[in-house]
């Protein structure tokens, strides 16, 4: 600490003022003021005498706990502390003015919560299908409102059909794969726990086993961005089918056409469920001029249907779907590239296109 | 976080480079902070996943540390919470990096856990008191992560909302490049980039695909979790630990734009395990690799073994390849970096929801 001599003289002055009952501490909005302080120097270590802590930090503990960061200004005998960060909702703060061995002068400030009742829920978990392949790669958890990050895997459980929790089925990443709004989090099944080929993994076996029913359970204790737990927990039961090691084939996809002049949805149907996020991102509809058809895209029928609701009525003409080859099915197989592949050959084949657009032309007839 | 003993193991920096070229003074805009890595002259690289960028910040913290003093800060998360004026559960420490010059510890901290958080950089000096690093007026430069063109497409039409984000899982400075490993929240694919430093143009990065043997197959998909530059003979290599713990080495010189790099799997470190951090150090004239894991403790490997390790290409039952010692008493390690020549600095669990920042003698 700097300037012990000055700090001592400040203490002495405050002490004198306090003896004359002239010093007081008040919160003003999110700032706190000490009145009656009669020094003009601003170079002092104010944090040695005037500090803010959470009220939950006990007084003795506060002597070793760093006080809240912020800035001090002294003007006309009023010493103001402006916290560096906004105060936390639902917490009580304590400003203390310490003078020597005397009891500190204290002012409390409680920050109310705008929201006290939890309303956030798990909206949807993708895949929504009741049957998933044994080599399912990921889940997307969608929430109704922004969530909080940190230790999320404590709240997510995979239960087998005997009610036993599957041990560490997911790839637990400190980074936690959220979207920007924190309303969606991606859960990868640990690839080391996905059954490969015909033999099961030797140490602990795969997370998901063909022919069995599993349940994904999300605890209500998971807090949303307001620090409130979910309104309710979530459970999703699903049956595990055979592994899917074949690549999606766009030739097997069928467009279902709307009537000309209607505002009906145009669909693209797949023989298997596709990855929700990647389908929404990588399937596009263009008109004959190569212009994207504007509208709202969604997935339906357990992600076996991509559909577009147009902004303006359909016109007859030539259209095409454009699909990026990195589109995946539920097992991470991409167009032309299975998830599990022996790449010794391919790595030497530099000419092979890595990622490419697949065009699927079709016509909406005039009548 | 990864670190390298510059002088003894690698020539980590170019001589007389103007590292400050192209930097501006001002307040860098962070949306998130971490991972961290120190470069030359007290320059700290800070990954910002949400902004898809890495910012190089001149800390000016270049006063050399005097001696290898030990450090133990109990309840570091609670002390940082006090500084930030929040309850300890609202503090997430996302990474730790030790400035190799001053030996001060830097922590990337998130104040709050929702989408609207304050990322803060906290410095812990030898006194053990955490303090906020003032970033209001610092020399800095920004490298936007070069996205593949298709990543910019957010879906059908103008109403589309791009939910894709790429988390930066690790960064390291090597010679004149910043190396970055990332992981997307949609495609389970490995992205590895090398961006020349000083940062010049926006799209100056290299993105490579790294293939490695795993589970009896050869694949690219599994993302790099943590990595460290390392010399094999006189040839600079990277040792990368993957999410399901194969340890893979590949030559740095192959990191060219668009290249497909064939990595050599030198160890399978076992299932139900997640690598956290790696450091390389020298002790009694020998080099070692130290790898912190989520569930298998700290692994210590003799680097000479790595030099001539055979490639694992067949299916392995669990652990195979380069052998290691498990350092039993290093438990609950969340973050690890070198702390001078003879110590490591770790962030470790010290009771329920309590973290300690502690130096430990290198094994």
Q: Which residues of B touch A344 (CB under 8 A)?
A: 218
Kindly give the confidence (pLDDT) of every residue in chain B, 363 residues in length, as a single tens digit, with 9 standing for 90 and above: 544 443 334 444 444 568 998 899 999 999 999 899 999 999 999 999 988 899 999 999 999 988 778 999 999 999 999 999 999 999 999 999 999 999 999 999 999 999 988 999 999 999 999 999 999 999 999 998 866 444 555 556 655 667 788 889 899 998 888 988 888 888 876 667 888 899 875 444 455 666 565 555 555 566 778 889 887 777 888 888 876 667 888 888 877 666 667 777 787 776 667 788 899 999 999 989 999 887 767 889 888 887 777 766 555 555 566 778 888 888 889 999 999 989 999 999 998 889 999 999 999
B275 within domain boundaries? yes
Residues 133-172 of A with CB under 8 A from B: 137-138, 146-150, 167-168, 171-172
| DSSP calls for A174-186 | TT-EE-TTSSEEE
- Give the domain CATH number at B234: 2.115.10
Tell me which residue in B87, B114, B168 faces A182 most closely, judged by beta carbons: B114
Cβ atoms of A240 and A210 within 8 Å: the answer is: yes
pLDDT at A5: 44
Task: Give the closest-approach CA distance of A347 to chain B in angstroms.
Answer: 7
B190's enclosing H/E stretch is strand B190-196
Task: Find, among A110, A117, A141, A147, the residue nearest to A128 by Cα.
Answer: A141
> ipTM score here?
0.87
For residues B250 and B12, what is the distance between their CA atoms, to the nearest angstrom? 17
Residues 283-322 of A with CB under 8 A from B: 283-285, 292-297, 308
**Cβ separation B113–A148 shorter than 8 A:** yes
Tell me which residue in A146, A347, A355 faces B260 most closely, judged by beta carbons: A347
**Burial (CB count <10 Å: 0-12, 13-18, 19+), residue A1:** exposed
Domains of chain A: 4-110 (2.60.40), 122-241 (2.60.40.1220), 250-364 (2.60.40.1220)
Q: What's the Cα-to-Cα distance from B72 to each of B122, B276, B298, B355, B363, rounded to whole Å?
A: 16, 21, 19, 11, 18
Residue A346 backbone class (left: φ over 0; alpha: ψ -120 to 50; beta: rest): alpha
Q: Which residues of B touch A186 (CB under 8 A)?
A: 185-186
Q: Which residues of A touch B217 (CB under 8 A)?
A: 196, 340-343
B90 within domain boundaries? yes
User: Which residue from A minimizes the CA distance to B34?
Assistant: A175
**Cβ separation B211–A343 shorter than 8 A:** yes
Tell me which residue in A150, A343, A355 faces B150 most closely, judged by beta carbons: A355
B110 within domain boundaries? yes
B161 within domain boundaries? no
pLDDT at B211: 59
A71 shares contact with chain B (CB less than 8 Å): no
Task: Find, among A119, A176, A124, the residue nearest to A280 by Cα.
Answer: A124
B77 within domain boundaries? yes
State whether residue B25 is helix, strand or coil: strand
Cβ atoms of B326 and B354 within 8 Å: the answer is: no
pLDDT at B252: 80
B32 shares contact with chain A (CB less than 8 Å): no
Task: Give the closest-approach CA distance of B240 to chain A in angstroms.
Answer: 16
Task: Give the closest-approach CA distance of B261 to chain A in angstroms.
Answer: 8
**Cβ separation B243–A285 shorter than 8 A:** no
A126 shares contact with chain B (CB less than 8 Å): no
A111 shares contact with chain B (CB less than 8 Å): no
A181 shares contact with chain B (CB less than 8 Å): yes
Q: pTM, whole model, 2 decimals?
A: 0.89
Q: B84 Cβ partners below 8 Å, 6+ apart?
A: A68, A69, A85, B90, B91, B109, B111, B118, B120
Q: A15 Cβ partners below 8 Å, 6+ apart?
A: A99, A100, A102
B285 shares contact with chain A (CB less than 8 Å): no
Q: Which residues of A touch B347 (CB under 8 A)?
A: none
Whether the bond into B198 is cis, omega within 30 of 0: yes
Using only C-alpha atoms, chain A has a radius of gyration, in whole angstroms, of: 31
**Contacts A–B by Cβ distance under 8 A:** 204
A58 shares contact with chain B (CB less than 8 Å): no
Report the half-sphere exposure of B91 (CA within 13 A, side-chain side). 24
Q: Which residues of A touch B84 (CB under 8 A)?
A: 68-69, 85
Q: Which one of B74, B156, B220 would you mutate to disrupt binding with A, by most A Cβ within 10 Å of its Cβ?
A: B156
B317 shares contact with chain A (CB less than 8 Å): yes
> What is the residue range of B251's domain?
2-146+166-361
B152 within domain boundaries? no
Provide the domain count of chain B.
1
Q: Which residues of B touch A339 (CB under 8 A)?
A: 221
Which stretches of chain A score pLDDT less than 50?
1-8, 40-43, 197-202, 342-353
For residues B238 and B243, what is the distance between their CA atoms, to the nearest angstrom? 16
Task: Find, among B47, B75, B56, B28, the residue nearest to B355 by Cα.
Answer: B75
Cβ atoms of A335 and A358 within 8 Å: the answer is: yes
A93 shares contact with chain B (CB less than 8 Å): yes
pLDDT at A103: 80
**Phi, psi at B7, each rounded to 5°:** -70, -45
């Amino acid at each position: 600490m700097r300037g012990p001599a000055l700090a001592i003289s400040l203490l002495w002055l405050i002490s004198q003022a306090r003896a004359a009952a002239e010093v007081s501490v008040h919160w003003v909005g999110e700032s706190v003021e000490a009145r009656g302080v009669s020094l003009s120097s601003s170079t002092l270590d104010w944090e040695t005498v005037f500090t803010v802590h959470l009220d939950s930090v006990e007084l003795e503990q506060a002597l070793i706990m760093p006080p809240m960061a912020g800035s001090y200004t002294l003007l006309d005998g009023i010493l103001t502390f402006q916290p560096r960060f906004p105060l936390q909702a639902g917490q009580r703060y304590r400003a203390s003015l310490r003078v020597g061995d005397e009891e500190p002068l204290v002012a409390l400030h409680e920050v109310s919560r705008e929201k006290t009742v939890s309303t956030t829920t798990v909206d949807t978990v993708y895949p929504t299908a009741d049957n998933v392949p044994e080599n399912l790669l990921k889940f997307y958890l969608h929430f109704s409102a922004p969530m909080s990050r940190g230790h999320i895997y404590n709240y997510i459980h995979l239960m087998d059909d005997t009610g036993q929790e599957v041990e560490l089925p997911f790839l637990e990443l400190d980074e936690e794969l959220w979207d920007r709004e924190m309303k969606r989090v991606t859960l990868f099944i640990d690839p080391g726990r996905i059954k490969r080929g015909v033999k099961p993994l030797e140490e602990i076996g795969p997370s998901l086993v063909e022919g069995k029913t599993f349940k994904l359970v999300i605890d209500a204790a998971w807090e949303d961005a307001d620090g409130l737990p979910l309104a309710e927990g979530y459970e999703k039961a699903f049956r595990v089918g055979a592994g899917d090691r074949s690549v999606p084939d766009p030739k097997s996809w069928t467009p279902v056409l709307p009537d000309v002049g209607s505002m009906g949805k145009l669909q693209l149907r797949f023989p298997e469920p596709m990855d929700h996020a990647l389908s929404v991102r990588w399937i596009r509809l263009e008109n004959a001029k190569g212009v994207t058809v504007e509208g709202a895209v969604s997935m339906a029928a357990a992600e076996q249907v991509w559909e577009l609701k147009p902004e303006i009525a359909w016109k007859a003409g030539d259209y095409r779907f454009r699909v990026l080859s990195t589109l995946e099915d539920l097992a991470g197989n991409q167009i032309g590239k299975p998830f599990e592949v022996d790449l010794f050959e391919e790595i030497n084949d530099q000419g092979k296109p890595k990622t490419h657009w697949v065009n699927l032309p079709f016509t909406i007839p005039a009548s | 976080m990864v670190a390298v003993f510059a002088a003894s193991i690698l020539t980590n920096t170019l001589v007389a480079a103007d590292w400050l070229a192209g930097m501006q003074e001002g307040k860098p805009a962070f949306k998130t902070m971490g991972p961290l890595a120190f470069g030359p002259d007290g320059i700290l690289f800070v990954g910002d996943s949400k902004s898809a960028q890495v910012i190089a910040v001149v800390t000016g913290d270049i006063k050399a540390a005097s001696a290898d003093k030990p450090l133990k800060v109990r309840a570091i998360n609670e002390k940082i919470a006090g500084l930030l004026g929040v309850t300890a559960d609202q503090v997430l420490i996302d990474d730790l990096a030790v400035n190799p010059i001053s030996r001060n510890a830097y922590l990337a901290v998130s104040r709050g856990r929702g989408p609207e958080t304050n990322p803060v950089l906290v410095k812990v000096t030898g006194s053990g008191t955490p303090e906020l690093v003032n970033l209001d007026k610092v020399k800095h430069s920004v490298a936007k992560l070069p996205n593949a063109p298709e990543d910019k497409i957010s879906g059908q039409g103008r109403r589309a909302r791009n939910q894709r984000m790429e988390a930066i899982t690790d960064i390291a400075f090597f010679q004149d490049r910043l190396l970055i490993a990332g992981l997307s929240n949609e495609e389970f694919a490995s992205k590895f980039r090398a961006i020349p430093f000083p940062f010049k143009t926006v799209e100056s990065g290299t993105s490579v695909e790294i293939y490695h043997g795993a589970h009896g197959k050869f694949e690219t998909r599994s993302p790099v979790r943590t990595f460290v530059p390392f010399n094999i003979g006189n040839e600079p290599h990277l040792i990368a630990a993957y999410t399901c713990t194969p340890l893979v080495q590949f030559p740095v010189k192959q990191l060219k734009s668009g290249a497909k790099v064939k990595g050599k799997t030198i160890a399978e470190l076992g299932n139900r395990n997640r690598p956290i951090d790696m450091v390389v150090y020298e002790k009694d004239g020998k080099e070692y690799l130290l790898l912190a894991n989520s569930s298998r403790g700290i692994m210590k490997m003799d680097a000479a073994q790595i030099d001539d390790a055979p490639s694992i290409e067949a299916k392995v039952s669990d652990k195979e390849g380069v052998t290691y010692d498990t350092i039993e008493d290093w438990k609950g390690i969340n973050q690890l970096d070198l702390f001078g020549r003879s110590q490591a600095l770790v962030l470790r669990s010290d009771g329920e929801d309590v973290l300690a920042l502690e130096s430990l003698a290198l094994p």
